[in-house]
Structure 1
């Protein structure tokens, strides 16, 4: 279960008090059933907070003038972390079950703290410590034949390719 919290506001930054945000489950999970709904109401300062189980949710906002906006779909997984509603809306698709965007969302949340810690530069891959975590830029990667960016997270080592596509 994760918690979504933040300040609900319009694109121009105006705070939106009294909005009812609905999360409608779009599929059965171990913790919930299709079409069950969780709701929260933003405070006078636009603040909101809600805890959700994993699943795919359709998100809507109902305003004090009774207008309803479809905000998008979000996916919560067992690996998801606490965040803002906007974190999840910007990383999810309007199309349900989009596996690529779901995977991108998981990578984002798994690595957002690593990105904040910056990239460490080393000359050779052998200079990276055994318990490495985060991003390492290897300036002389003998294995790849070029400088290479590696990500170390959750016991995995991933290298990120960059291809010169200049015509």
Structure 2
């Protein structure tokens, strides 16, 4: 092999390697893409909350369990509109990953507790250990205008104030 041929071979392989690295990086970027549903305000945006209960859940879904998880989640979300005391809610998920979030804001501990005892929520929780590898929860008192809820602020608090629960061997 001549020096010229060796350089050409090296450049060709380097170009292939760079293409592979670019594809891998693009794939990694796609897994970070998230989409959030617009906040729903069953009692209107003008409501001001005092000592409301803000609940945020971050779920890590086991491989191959996305369909059962999202099917059950859809049932829970559909049941929200009938829940007394619900001030706001939204859902969020990775487009090409295994992460999902929910946010609900309740006018009282009583309303939040009634929802957690509802049929749709109980069914979802019964299946949690088979479809989730990890769940993190944030529960805080919240006061202010309901229309001021913000995913970025809530996710920042989730990272610093949440309680984690592992379903199996993995750490959260």
Could you state the TM-score of these two structures normalised by the residue count of structure 1?
0.25
Q: Which has the higher strand share?
A: 1
Could you say which structure has the larger radius of gyration?
Answer: 2
Q: Which has the higher helix share?
A: 2
Task: Determine which structure has greater relative contact order: mean sequence separation of CA pairs < 8 Å that are 6+ residues apart, divided by chain length.
Answer: 2
Could you state the TM-score of these two structures normalised by the residue count of structure 2?
0.25
